[in-house]
Amino acid sequence: MTSRQGPEQGAEPAGKSLFSLQRREKLMDELRAHGSITVRAIAAELGVSELTIRRDVNLLAVEGLVSRVHGGATLPSPLDRTASMTRQQTNRYSIGMVVPSLDYYWPQVISGARAEADERQAKILVRGSTYDAADNRQQVQALLTTQNINGLIVAPDTTGEAGRELLRWLNSLPIPVVLAERRSPIEIPAHRLEWVATDHAFGAGMATRHLWQEGHRKIGCMTDSNSPTSAHVVRGWLQALGALRIPAAQSVNEDSAHVPTSDRAEHFDRILQLCRETDTTAMLVHSDTQAVAFVQHCVDRGVDVPGSMAVVGYDDEVAYLAEPAISAVRPPKQYVGRLAVQLITARISEGPKRPVHRVQLNPDLIVRDSSLGGPRSSARALEDSL
Amino acid sequence: MTSRQGPEQGAEPAGKSLFSLQRREKLMDELRAHGSITVRAIAAELGVSELTIRRDVNLLAVEGLVSRVHGGATLPSPLDRTASMTRQQTNRYSIGMVVPSLDYYWPQVISGARAEADERQAKILVRGSTYDAADNRQQVQALLTTQNINGLIVAPDTTGEAGRELLRWLNSLPIPVVLAERRSPIEIPAHRLEWVATDHAFGAGMATRHLWQEGHRKIGCMTDSNSPTSAHVVRGWLQALGALRIPAAQSVNEDSAHVPTSDRAEHFDRILQLCRETDTTAMLVHSDTQAVAFVQHCVDRGVDVPGSMAVVGYDDEVAYLAEPAISAVRPPKQYVGRLAVQLITARISEGPKRPVHRVQLNPDLIVRDSSLGGPRSSARALEDSL
DNA sequence: GTCAGGTTGTTCGATCATGATCGATTGAGA
DNA sequence: TCTCAATCGATCATGATCGAACAACCTGAC
């Protein structure tokens, strides 16, 4: 509603008179930028009398937003004895949240975010989107224009030129932005973006090492390149193979992204065939739903799990439902949501002086039956069973 | 983010006068960093009379925030009978902290950690060590056996086999461990180690891009391979060169680690010579102390800074002291300490269910005079001046 | 037009922060 | 234990800053 001028008011000290609210905003900006202000300097800069500024400072001090000192004000300091003891104000922020899916993975992230927001008396406004940059932007835009939000948590598509452009745009928004389960590239244009993401490469590595420790010496990987997670899983798997001195070139690495459900059985048969040919006795399967289907297929084909084919799923939504129950890597989804809210609220209250935070969380490995015991009678069993 | 900052800012002696509250905060910072202060030193540093400092100390002593001693003040000691008995209940946690240096870089990290610990009613026990794995271990061992600590913050040597072994040992300790300004490798044996570290590569990249934007097209790098930071600085610099399409192979990249002070002038002359030969008009210099010496040398040799040689220092301890004042990358040291304490206390109270956190913080670029304006008359001026 | 309510500016005595002086006190070394 | 230099605190002077009271101004409602 109020049209703001440029970042610096520039040449007109006494130009358009600001409303008191804008004055106080400006004052807080200066304060956050420099850590302190003098009444005199601000009064001169805004072209108002010092008394007016003093009144503003008093007002802000009552709200606990600044500490009054003789001659000016500083950021609230614990040394400030006059600080009101009623710390927890009606500090309610509105935080927008745009996630690419409302039925897979993200509900738990949202739940974590909501829990944290409750504790901080903030409100979360969620919008579902897709895994597509254009739609991401549309949803964010909708939040920005229809709601009055103080910060944004978003899990955008970061791939391709559209993804990079989207990141640049997010980086330039006037409100703080935190990416969830996404990283900003090292490029400068996104230098303000903070993020919290699960270290999926670590998780994949952990799963691979677990299979190795159980006795498997050929470990394959089944991916779903539809998901942005898959690239990290493959990276972690390859890294682990390297560390374990397993030749990656001969390892089974199949993608199921574009296999229609009708061809799934055939697809799995081909993978089992590949495993037999390469003596592969264990598979890391991205998306546990896929893992459940794969284990089911193995059981149907008489392939013993885990005796002839050990399976670790990546992600842990339904892995426990299979028979046998599937070991799975479990990303700390609740914590991702919680942390995103923590980052955004801290950023809103501390301003740009706070350094940009980028957090990785390690997933857990939940060991169930599908990966225990090591290969039994090696590839023979698998061969016999077919 | 990049912030423009006048010459007066920070801790310079005769700079802008601070408010009393800020003085007291600064005083507490110093106190937390070093454990004690002298009235004289603080008075000199802040450019105020000793009486003023004494008054501040009295004030803080009345609030129980310091213990007065003859000539200065110390952190509140239980032996101090004058302390108001309004103290809260006993500390909830004791946190050990082992840092490789007590006079460079780390005091500010300690100060941040102590400040955060105060707010969480925890106690920090600091031990100075060296940049050597064996001594790191000894100091940690000493803390473990002589004190009853609930968690450990440590900045160990992570290089070589000794470093890896040390990390394995730290990972296996029965108490939570957080690394400060160090990362654990992707290796599994350190999978429980959490860390918080400045993204020095990002900082170096930011500095390089800043120089590029100022018009420099050949940007060199001077390192100090004694420091564990240097490798990251070089990495960030090279990355940025790549992104800016500056050929790295022909770029000046010199190390000053093993140059004795006596040969320094000669060493700098050689670097200037190299810059002339390669048309290099800007240098990123690791450790701002080195940058100060380098700028001094340039001025002595009649090389105009920033006209003929622009300089950005890495680290911002003394960069503002040079003439001209040196632009510098400033790591968020206070925040590193704060965050380390946050991580360790959260880990202690939430237990192993909490996922492993690994946090990177971005440094700031403080732009001063030594890098502004771009190359003037290119390499000619540099050549003429020699 | 007028009046109420809000915001801003001016004046001036009160208050505050700081430094200088100078005895009183302290404590480390002889 | 003694001594002496360093440190401390009471007091005052000075200049800057603050706040109460009132005046001026703007705005919108009736």
pLDDT band at B234 (very low <50, low <70, confident <90, very high): very high
Tell me the torsion sign for CA atoms A102, A105, A111, A116.
negative
CB contact under 8 A, B186 and A361: no
Question: What does the block give as tokens for A233?
Answer: 């899983």
Percent of chain B exceeding pLDDT 90 equals: 59
Q: What integer is the mean pLDDT of B13-38?
A: 79
In the block, tokens 């454990």 appear at B35
Question: CA geometry: angle at A155 spanning A150 and A158, to 5°?
Answer: 120
| Nucleotide C30 C1' to residue A269 CA (A) | 96
Token look-up 């890391």 returns A284
Beta bridge partners of B310: B282
Taking the CA of residue B70 and the C1' sugar atom of nucleotide C30, their distance in angstroms comes to 21
pLDDT at B82: 58
| Distance from C-alpha of B318 to C-alpha of B323, rounded to nearest angstrom | 11
The pLDDT score that the predictor gives to residue B17 is 65
Residue B79 binned pLDDT confidence (cut-offs 50, 70, 90): low
pLDDT in tens, B250-262: 899 999 888 888 8
Q: Is B145 exposed, middle or buried (0-12, 13-18, 19+ CB in 10 A)?
A: exposed
Cβ within 8 Å of residue B186, ≥6 positions away:
A201, A202, A205, A239, A243
| Best-predicted range by mean pLDDT (A97-101, A189-193, A247-251, B50-54) | A97-101
pLDDT class for A92, splitting at 50, 70, 90?
confident
Residue B13: CB atoms within 10 Å: 10
B21: the nucleotide nearest its CA (via C1') is: C17
Nearest CA-CA partner of B150 in B178, B130, B114: B178
Instruction: Compute the nearest-CA separation of B126 from chain A (Å).
Output: 23
Interface of B with A in 317-336 (CB under 8 A): 332, 335
φ, ψ (nearest 5 deg) of residue B225: -70, -5
B295 in Cβ contact with B232 (< 8 Å):
no
For residue A333, count CB atoms less than 10 angstroms from its CB and return exposed for 0-12, middle for 13-18, buried for 19 or more: buried
- Using a CB-CB cut-off of 8 Å, the residues of chain B touching A359 are 357-360
Query: Quick one: pLDDT at residue A18?
Result: 58
Spatial contact of B24 and A79, defined as CB atoms under 8 Å apart:
yes
Residue with the bigger pLDDT between B236 and A185: it is B236
Assigned token pair, A147: 């709601």
Q: How are beta strands B282-286 and B219-223 bridged, if at all?
A: parallel
Q: How remote is the C-alpha of B183 from its chain's centroid? A: 16
A175 CB-near residues (< 8 Å, 6+ apart): A144, A149, A150, A151, A152
> Which of B88, B188, B330 would you mutate first to test chain A, the one with the most A CBs within 10 A?
B188
Nearest CA in chain A to B330: A355
B211 Cα to chain A: minimum distance (Å): 13
Cα nearest neighbour of A207 on chain B: B188
**Confidence (pLDDT) at B258:** 87
Q: Is the pLDDT of residue A386 over 50?
A: no
The string of DSSP letters for A15-48 reads SSPPPHHHHHHHHHHHHHHHSEEEHHHHHHHHTS
B21 touches chain A (CB under 8 A): yes
Nucleotide C21 C1' to residue A69 CA (A): 28
Pairwise CA distance, residues A143 & B42, whole Å: 51
Q: Mean per-residue pLDDT for A230-249?
A: 92
For residue B81, the Cα-to-chain-centroid distance in whole angstroms is 36
Assign B33 a pLDDT band (cuts: 50, 70, 90).
Answer: confident
Please count the helices (runs of H) and the strands (runs of E) in chain A. 12, 15
Which pLDDT band holds residue B83 (cuts at 50, 70, 90)? Answer: low
B19 touches strand C (CB under 7 A): yes
Give the C-alpha distances (Å, rounded to integers) separating B291 from B216, B223, B311, B379. 18, 10, 7, 20
What mean pLDDT, rounded, does chain B reach? 87
Angle at the Cα of A285 from the Cα atoms of A284 and A289, rounded to 5 degrees: 150
Question: Considering chain A, what is the average pLDDT of its residues?
Answer: 86
pLDDT at A3: 34
**pLDDT, mean of residues A155-183:** 93
Name the burial class of residue A194, with classes exposed (0-12), middle (13-18) and buried (19+) by CB atoms within 10 angstroms of its CB: buried
What's residue B15's pLDDT?
A: 44
Q: Do B24 and A67 touch (CB under 8 A)?
A: no
H helical segments located in B70-223:
106-119, 133-146, 160-171, 200-213
> What's the CA B57/C1' D1 distance, rounded, in angstroms?
33
Pairwise CB contact (< 8 Å): B21 & A80: yes
List of chain B residues whose C-beta atoms are within 8 Å of the C-beta of residue A81: 63
Burial of A220 (0-12, 13-18, 19+ CB in 10 A): buried
- Quickly state the pLDDT bin for A338 (edges 50, 70, 90): very high
Indicate the SS3 state at residue B70.
coil
pLDDT at residue A153, as a whole number: 97
CA B159 from chain centre, in angstroms, equals 20
Lowest-pLDDT range of A269-283, B47-61, B267-281, B283-297? B47-61
* Strand order, beta sheet including A67-69: A36-38, A72-74, A67-69
Which residues in chain B are closer than 8 Å to A355, comparing Cβ atoms?
A: 332, 335, 361-364
- Closest to A32 measured CA to CA, from A353, A344, A348, A349: A353
Looking at beta carbons, which residues of chain A come within 8 Å of B357?
A: 359-361
Contact A140, A99 (CB under 8 A): no
Choose the weakest-confidence range: A355-359, B66-70, B375-379.
B375-379
Instruction: Assign B3 a pLDDT band (cuts: 50, 70, 90).
Output: very low
Residue range A346-373: mean pLDDT, rounded: 92
B205 band by pLDDT with thresholds 50, 70 and 90? very high
B232 touches strand C (CB under 7 A): no
Q: Among all protein residues, pick the one whose CA is nearest to the C1' atom of D6.
A: B71
Within 7 Å: CB of B70 and strand C? Answer: yes
Residues B31-58, mean pLDDT to the nearest whole number? 87
Q: Is the pLDDT of residue A11 over 60?
A: no
Protein CB footprint (7 Å) on chain D nucleotides:
6-11, 16-21
B129 DSSP assignment: -
pLDDT of residue B311: 95
Nucleic strand C under 7 Å from the C-beta of A104:
no
Rounded average pLDDT over B28-47: 87
Q: Is the peptide bond before A355 cis (omega within 30 degrees of 0)?
A: no
pLDDT of residue B377: 58
Q: What is the predicted pLDDT for the residue at B169?
A: 94
Strand D interface, A 67-86, C-beta < 7 A: 69-72
Distance CA B312, CA B292 (A): 10
Residues 9-38 of A with CB under 7 A from strand D: 38
Q: Is strand D in 7 Å reach of the CB of A62?
A: no
Cα B121 to Cα B324: distance, rounded to the nearest angstrom: 43
Minimal Cα distance from B239: which residue of A? A186
What percent of chain A is predicted at pLDDT more than 90? 52
Structural domains in chain B, CATH included, are 2-74 (1.10.10.10), 93-192+333-362 (3.40.50.2300), 200-326+368-385 (3.40.50.2300)
Strand partners, A330: A364
B4 — pLDDT class (breaks 50, 70, 90): very low
Among all strands, which nt has the closest C1' to A70 (CA)?
D17
Q: What is the pLDDT of residues B98-142, one digit of tens each?
A: 999 998 899 999 999 999 998 898 999 999 999 999 999 999 999
Yes or no, beta carbons of A362 and B332 under 8 Å apart: no
A91: confidence class by pLDDT, cuts 50, 70, 90: low
Nucleotide nearest to A61 (CA to C1'): D18
Round to the nearest angstrom and report the end-to-end CA distance of chain B.
36
